[in-house]
Structure 1
Amino acid sequence: MKDRFVVSRRRTGFGDCLWSLAAAWRYAQRTGRTLAIDWRESCYLDQPFTNAFPLFFEPIGDIAGVPVICDEQINQVSFPGPFFPQWWNKPSIDCVYRPDEQIFRERDELSELFEAQADSEANTVVCDACLMWRCDQEAERQIFQSVKPQAEVQARIEAIYQEHFKGHSIIGVHVRHGNGEDIMDHAPYWSDPEFALRQVCAAIEKAKTLPHPKPVRVFLCTDSEQVLDQVSAAVPDLFTISKSFQARRAGPLHSPALGVEGGLSALVEMYLLARCDTVIRFPPTSAFTRYARLFVPRVIEFDLNDPSRLILIEDSSEDLPAS
């Protein structure tokens, strides 16, 4: 029988990459396929033929029994047809440019395939679309527990933890701004930017009033230097990790303009947020904090239908009092 594959292709930020990988892994597990992690053309690199996965994460041969290809071998593998979605059966040269509407169409086709709990007759299923929300939380946890950052990144995370986190109850705050990019589903949260930042600051103050077993510190992660300045002015006792920003309105942090260091900084913050005692997610639609959402014991989110309403997620969900 010919080998069969699921190819997880993503070039976006790490949150999207890992969440979409979880959906691809679950399908590979259910259908007995090999999982190929193809992160070439990554937004963190300016080298189109370099697979970003082994650059940032430790090599891995299988995930819970699913065989994995994740290194530079990806450049030599010839995946067998036929392919699903149908687009990928075109000659290679015709597949280079895919308009946004085609990507969205493939996302929907893959979603239908996953939801049907069926197996495609194709030998290779190509997952080259955002697949957030297309798997169960156990699949997400499996990926986040199986995939480990490179030793250099882990060492950096541990050093920061020992210096800033140890001995404190840490309130982690993630503010996804966009800095001029098209933030799509996040946009409604920023319809009134001044109000949005007031709500973030209000959430921090309310998080401080919750029970904490140790002295409290506030850790801020954001993709906007403007947000950093404004929140720091309102909450002067917070701390951040030094990193480079793009110029105001010049675009996101996941950009080749910042080089590999931009990707390393993102991983450090993503994994440190998951070691906080409380995490505030603004907006909660950001995949960057999905890791923290799954493992941090206390999470504060915002209700899009009523932005003044804060949602406290613990063992049982409840609302925090409005401002």
Structure 2
Amino acid sequence: MTNYIVVKGTSGIGNRVFAVATGILYAQLSGRQLVVDWRDGSYSNSGTNLFFRYFDCPVAQSVEVLPATDSIYPTHWQNKLNRSLGSVINESGLSCYKDLSFDVSRLDYTETIIVLSAYTHKIGFMRPLFTGSASRFASMNNLEILQLVLQSNLSLKEDIRLQVEEFKREYFADYMIGVHIRYSDMKVPLSEVESSLASIIRSVKSKHPNYKIFVATDSQEVLSSFKQKFPVIISTNKWFSASGKRLHQNPEECEDLIQNGIEALVDLDLLAACDELLFASRSSFGLLSSMLMDKPQAIRHDIDTQKPLIKRVQLKLKNLAKKLKIGG
């Protein structure tokens, strides 16, 4: 009899991919069949499972394989597996993801179906499982494990990959500096991005005078500003919110949610194809793009880790307060 782990999609592309990576590793360690469910409507209004429109993942199957059963953990998901995480949270009054997710540090669940609900990876919580045949993971840090899992099991659909390759052939230079700027709902300090980028350019231009800068951002205003200040910037042609809201989970403004996801994935892969990348790891999208860089000499510049320790702690507390809705 087959047992299953279902990974529910939530939030943006980066969040979702990190959750899937957790599911892939847990499925390998537990012997369960991985099922990915991205029918929540963030990238489609039709109820389509968009994970399989965007990715090839040989170890994952879609929800159609799930049996009809009440043997589900957490029990909040009984008779609700076809629902989105957000709708179940709203209906149940639960305030935490953990109430709708199993504990990834355990392998002893007897239920046929266990559900993972997470907005980021849970690799750190899985460390008690890294024994015996899985002991090779014990000496690796979380990001190394994620990188290994994703690069071994996940790839873009061919049509999306071809869009990436076409853009690279037409616009990329011999040396590329990638910049990711999340600004709509998670404002990265632009002055820090500008000063860091200027520093990178000073170190690059003597060796690579024909360099270019690829910028991926969720703000058309930020993109226009950077193009005025750094004339060698290139970017993809994509949809922006006229009101300045975030690009994902914005069905009120975005007319083609599926294309919105494809545009995000193209940007993600182009960032990962650069020789150097400037990003802020507070953004799952920026962090994911840095992990997917596969050039041996790739250089990563994380604005958040460049801050003094006290500022990093203050930033984490500020972001935590936002999630918990503490303060004004």
C-alpha spacing 1:249/1:308, structure 2 compared with 1 (3 Å): farther
Unpaired stretches in structure 2, ≥5 consecutive residues:
125-141, 313-328
Structure that is richer in strand per residue: 1
C-alpha spacing 1:45/1:91, structure 2 compared with 1 (3 Å): closer
Residue 202 of structure 2 corresponds to 209
Tell me the SS of whatever aligns to 1:303.
coil
Residue 300 of structure 1 corresponds to 301
* Contact residue 247 and residue 260 of structure 2 kept, 8 A: no
2-structure distance, mates of 1:293, 1:246: 25
Tell me the SS of whatever aligns to 1:126.
strand
Deviations, residues 73-107 of structure 1 (Å, cap 9, x unaligned): x2463354422223223667999531397362427
1-structure distance, mates of 2:149, 2:97: 27
Code of the aligned partner of 1:97:
V
C-alpha spacing 1:56/1:288, structure 2 compared with 1 (3 Å): same
Structure 1 residue 208, shift from structure 2 partner = 1.1
Match status 1:119 vs 2:108: yes
Structure 1 residue 233, shift from structure 2 partner = 2.1
Aligned equivalent of 1:248, options 240, 243, 251: 243
C-alpha spacing 1:230/1:300, structure 2 compared with 1 (3 Å): same
Structure 1 residue 44, shift from structure 2 partner = 1.4
Aligned equivalent of 2:61, options 69, 75, 82: 69
2-structure distance, mates of 1:243, 1:274: 18
2-structure distance, mates of 1:140, 1:274: 12
* Contact residue 178 and residue 214 of structure 2 kept, 8 A: yes
Structure 1 residue 121, shift from structure 2 partner = 2.4
Aligned equivalent of 1:289, options 286, 289, 300: 286
The TM-score normalised by the length of structure 1 is 0.76
Q: Which moved more, 1:87-96 or 1:240-249?
A: 87-96
Aligned equivalent of 1:236, options 203, 224, 231: 231
Deviations, residues 98-142 of structure 1 (Å, cap 9, x unaligned): 1397362427964xx22x343322221111221335353324432
Residue 276 of structure 1 corresponds to 274
Code of the aligned partner of 2:236:
I
* Contact residue 254 and residue 263 of structure 1 kept, 8 A: no
2-structure distance, mates of 1:286, 1:104: 20
Residue 8 of structure 1 corresponds to 7
Q: Which moved more, 1:200-209 or 1:127-136?
A: 127-136
Unpaired stretches in structure 1, ≥5 consecutive residues:
63-67, 191-195, 311-323
2-structure distance, mates of 1:274, 1:91: 37
Structure 1 residue 56, shift from structure 2 partner = 1.8
Match status 1:222 vs 2:214: no
The TM-score normalised by the length of structure 2 is 0.75
C-alpha spacing 1:103/1:55, structure 2 compared with 1 (3 Å): farther
* Contact residue 144 and residue 291 of structure 1 kept, 8 A: no
Residue 171 of structure 1 corresponds to 177
Query: How many residues were matched structurally?
Result: 281
Q: RMSD in angstroms over aligned alpha carbons?
A: 3.0
Residue 324 of structure 2 corresponds to none
1-structure distance, mates of 2:267, 2:273: 10
2-structure distance, mates of 1:159, 1:285: 30
Tell me the SS of whatever aligns to 2:88.
coil
1-structure distance, mates of 2:163, 2:83: 43
2-structure distance, mates of 1:22, 1:200: 29
Match status 1:264 vs 2:255: no
C-alpha spacing 1:258/1:308, structure 2 compared with 1 (3 Å): farther
Residue 197 of structure 1 corresponds to 190
2-structure distance, mates of 1:165, 1:300: 20
Code of the aligned partner of 1:61:
P
C-alpha spacing 1:206/1:10, structure 2 compared with 1 (3 Å): same
2-structure distance, mates of 1:156, 1:197: 29
2-structure distance, mates of 1:198, 1:253: 25
C-alpha spacing 1:165/1:45, structure 2 compared with 1 (3 Å): same
C-alpha spacing 1:302/1:85, structure 2 compared with 1 (3 Å): same
Structure 1 residue 300, shift from structure 2 partner = 0.9
2-structure distance, mates of 1:94, 1:153: 28
